[in-house]
Amino acid sequence: MAACKSPEMNYTCEICGLEGFNDEEMRSHMVLYHLQGAASCPFCDLGEISPAEMLVHVNSAHLDYLTPR
């Protein structure tokens, strides 16, 4: 009996509108196109942290912006 796979979620970037990302692709997209080298969060006024810290911040504080359709 084959295991039932849950359907993969599709995400849309709320910043630029690109569509069709899975979870991992969405996180990578955010880092590469919206966070890398950024001094401030694109969703709030947080700034002056490293790109790695910004990724953790966005994934924990703003996951609601990255919701699937």
Domain count, the chain: 1
Q: What is the mean pLDDT of residues 37-65?
A: 79
Say if residue 1's pLDDT is above 60.
Answer: no
Residue 40: inside a domain, yes or no? Answer: yes
The CATH number of whichever domain residue 37 belongs to comes to 3.30.160
Residue 3: inside a domain, yes or no? Answer: no
Q: CB under 8 Å to 50, separation ≥6 — which residues?
A: none
Q: Which domain holds residue 44?
A: 11-66
Residue 5: inside a domain, yes or no? Answer: no
At residue 21, the pLDDT reads 92
Residue 2: inside a domain, yes or no? Answer: no
Query: pTM for the complete prediction?
Result: 0.49
Say if residue 34's pLDDT is above 80.
Answer: no
Residue 1: inside a domain, yes or no? Answer: no
